[in-house]
Chain A
Amino acid sequence: MGSRTMRTIRLSIAVALGIVVVITTALLSIRVPLLDDGLAFAWLPAVVLSLLLIGAAVTIEFAFPRPMSLSADAAVPEPVVPQPMVPQCRRKPAIISVHGLEGQAGCTSIAFNLAVEVATVGLADGRRPRPVCVLRSGALTSTVGLDPRPFTDYCRSHLATVGEDVIELAERHPSGCEVLCISDGALDGHRLRLLVSALRQFYDLILIDCPPGDRWLTDSAFDASEVSLLIGLSTAESARAAVPWSDTSWQYGLDSRFALVVNRVSAGTEIPGLLAAAFANVALIPEDVSRGNALELPWVLRPESRAGGAITEIARRLVPDLAAKDETHAA
């Protein structure tokens, strides 16, 4: 049932209830003289107060007319998104692994947007930081025109080594962040370790987008990184997938290294209780209304994007040494 129908039903019930109370009171007043006296005393002040309230509502309606929505996002009900709670990365370079709890959870988009945010407005020693994303090929990478073949071929031809020359394969985005795009299955735990040790010499922030299901790669990414972001949706599947992560993190006392990021939260969404309770660090990213548009900019580059705003807040807490310090930069 739509929210507008529910609203109509709610208001109708309130009016009907009011009418029933009025009729009942009228009928009871003959038997209860006190009620009669009370109503005779109260109706006039009630009328005056009602008129005043209506007058106030009308006045504010004329004084502050509601603005038209500035974007598609503004015309959609907003979820309540609390301030994100995520661990801080203080090492140089900061290394963050991003793990999806289910397919299409949006971890590639979030990793890329975090990198763009830091590259665009961050500061490291008075200059813009240079982040790098290791992304799996998919919808986003094909949208921005990234070819996974060079790096995939490199991985297949270099079985046990990763040299510094690998950075020549990274594509530079105009924001200043660089992207290494790779096909699923080409990267394994050993290569990831070697890759990270090569990348850390050249970049200020390394974001690793890990596919779900590859245990070795996941463990290696977790070992190499300082913070792991688990990206899920508000679904039972994500809640189920979060449980083993949560158990492991609490068992080894590593819960402060994890943050659960629930993506595509909308006003009507209920986050499963199991998911909300799984981790102490939780951040929500609202649904981005225009996410389906292939030619759209990264969320963080659109001023009215709620998803972009949420990622900006996450970046500031996640990498405080690199994220924007000046308010005008963060605008």
Chain B
Amino acid sequence: MPHELIVGFEAGAVIVLVLLLVPKRGLDHLLKRFSHLRAGRRSWLFEPPSWTYRKPPERVRKSLADAADVFELGVPLYLAGRVAEQRSAQLRVERLSLWQDSPKALLAAHLKGAMTETDLNGRLNSRELPLSAAKARVARVEARPLISVKWWLERQALAHTIARSNGDGAAEPVGGGSEADDEEAQDDSDGEAGSSAAADPGHLRIRTFGRLELLQASQDHGPALMAKKVLAFIWLYLFVRALLEPDGRVKRIVFAEEVSPGLSPTKQNKRLRNRIDDMLKRDLPTALSSRLVVNRNEIGLDLSNSSIDMVRLQEVARLCTDKHGMLTGDLIAEAHRILDETEGEFLPGWDQIETETNGGRGAAHEYVRSLRELAETARIDLMGALASNHMARQQPRKAIPLLEQALERQPDREDLARKLLAAYLESGQPARAAELQKDHALDV
């Protein structure tokens, strides 16, 4: 055999190796492509296999097409790409299996005519998913008949007669202020409920602003809970979910992922089971562990027979804002008291607990953030309602500091800006009103 031919074979072997190693195409955005594959955001590293464009070919042609793909990419890149594509395919299959139960899939089935709207709502209900928003409607204001002057005069006369017969100097209206009476009655009942709750040894009083206080039978279990970060995370996470949703139950799978993100589902479940056992059997005081509701699929917190400052804040804010103006004395006192009590941050130690438990990788901070925003909005609503009360009583100067403070916290609240504008004008401060109007671009 001639020497050149032998050398040719030897060189051929080396060149084949080089051709098998080196990609023979542009490699733009290679890292981004791999990262998108890992996240399941794309299916293929570059193009789909050439045989996917038409119906599946016979085996030999498919193998030849695959061989061409291998040759084009070079074996190392081809292998890496195939592994990443496999991972991406798994992720997409998992997402597709989740999709089947998602609201989008149900809505798509409804739009395709596979189910009626009633069926759709039934299925959403059975999966405990919220229903789609109903059509917006304008609230119809019913015309109320005017009170006749004759009736009013008779009522006044009757009131005077009753007052005289009781021996009172001042005439109290008979039916007037019935709303205020209801309010006071309600406040009284709240007070009674509060005192009976204090007497009940099983009652749990939860303070969340500024510091965590879990008071039962005059004993604060907050410090004991906060000392154990993982258990505190679990208890407070369930507490937060219970505040956000009426049912407040969390699926165990979802919760296990929240507690130990990144582990395999088996390890996550085992870890969660151990933690819950610890909580129930020894690590938590009975006052807290007895509140846990654990079953095979779900876990939650029972907040019955408890009083929570966050809930009270929202209730008082709602009560006051519903009045749209003048408030009763008791309600004003209660509003000031709740504003003082909720001065601090909601669950102040939460960020540290979350970081130490799951490195802040879960969705829990979103829930806490939502509650902090809700609390902030409720406080500002409350300030707005107190300011409205002052305005209704012709005391604009008392309303101004409240509104300024509220507007400083939420500068985008146009309703507060309008109230403040009115307060400035009524208190004879047109320059400040003009300045505010300019800052907030208010139409007059």
Contact = CB atoms under 8 A, between A and B. Distances in A.
A159 interface: no
Interface string B403-444: 000000000100000000000000000000000000000000
Interface string B99-114: 1011111011011100
A123 B135 contact: no
A126 B8 contact: no
Given A43-B14, A331-B95, A301 B108 contact: yes
B68 A11 contact: yes
B16 A120 contact: no
B136 A130 contact: yes
B75 A53 contact: yes
A165 B141 CA distance: 13
A80 interface: yes
A186 interface: no
Given A29-B7, A309-B41, A328-B98, A68 B132 contact: no
Nearest to B98: A331
A83 B68 CA distance: 32
A329 B7 contact: no
**Chain B contact residues, majority secondary structure:** helix
Contacts of A174: 107, 110-111, 117, 120, 132
Interface in B71-106: 71-72, 75-76, 78-79, 82-83, 85-86, 89, 95-96, 98-99, 101-105
Given A11-B68, A77-B48, A331 B99 contact: yes
Nearest to A330: B102
Nearest to B117: A174
A81 B36 CA distance: 9
Interface stretch (A59-67, A102-110, A257-265): A59-67
A49 B19 CA distance: 12
Contacts of B33: 80
Contact of A23 (B8, B131, B136): B8
Contacts of A130: 133-134, 136
B86 A178 contact: no
21 contacts: A11-B72, A18-B19, A22-B12, A29-B3, A29-B4, A36-B7, A50-B16, A56-B75, A64-B83, A66-B82, A69-B48, A69-B52, A74-B43, A77-B46, A81-B42, A91-B412, A120-B107, A167-B138, A168-B137, A303-B99, A303-B104
Given A43-B10, A43-B13, A80-B42, 7 more contacts: A25-B11, A46-B17, A49-B17, A119-B133, A121-B103, A128-B131, A328-B254
Given A56-B75, A325-B366, A78 B52 contact: no
Given A61-B66, A121-B102, A303-B96, A167 B136 contact: yes
Interface of A: 3-4, 7, 10-11, 14-15, 18, 21-23, 25-27, 29-30, 36, 39-40, 42-44, 46-47, 49-50, 53-54, 56-57, 60-61, 64, 66-70, 74-78, 80-82, 90-91, 119-121, 123, 126-130, 132, 164-165, 167-168, 170, 172, 174-178, 202-203, 267, 297, 300-303, 309, 325-329, 331
Contact of A121 (B41, B76, B83, B104): B104
Interface in B1-37: 3-5, 7-21, 24-25, 28-29, 32-33, 36
Contacts of A7: 25, 68, 72
B245 interface: yes
Given A26-B8, A57-B78, A331-B95, A175 B44 contact: no
A43 B138 contact: no
Given A25-B8, A26-B11, A46-B14, A329 B3 contact: no
Nearest to A6: B25
Give 6 nearest A-B pairs by CB, closest first: A176-B132, A130-B133, A331-B98, A43-B10, A26-B8, A25-B11
A53 B366 CA distance: 48
A176 B134 CA distance: 6
B245 A50 contact: no
B129 interface: yes
Contact of A43 (B9, B36, B107, B130): B9
A282 to B, nearest CB: 15
Contact of A68 (B10, B52, B71): B52
Nearest to B85: A66
A10 B10 contact: no
Nearest to A171: B135
A60 B82 contact: yes
Interface of B: 3-5, 7-21, 24-25, 28-29, 32-33, 36, 41-44, 46-50, 52-53, 56, 63, 66, 68, 70-72, 75-76, 78-79, 82-83, 85-86, 89, 95-96, 98-99, 101-105, 107-108, 110-112, 117, 120, 129-138, 244-246, 254, 363, 366, 412
A21 B15 CA distance: 8
B130 A128 contact: yes
A22 B8 contact: yes
Contacts of A202: 136, 138
A268 B104 CA distance: 31
Contacts of A126: 130, 244-246
A178 B17 CA distance: 62
B9 to A, nearest CB: 7
Contacts of B19: 14-15, 18
B213 to A, nearest CB: 26
Nearest to A20: B15
Contacts of A172: 134-135
B136 A22 contact: no
B112 A297 contact: yes
A93 to B, nearest CB: 11
B132 A120 contact: yes
Contact of B133 (A46, A176, A297, A309): A176
A7 B95 CA distance: 33
A78 B135 contact: no
Nearest to A165: B138
A29 B28 CA distance: 38
Contacts of B76: 53
Contacts of A119: 132-133
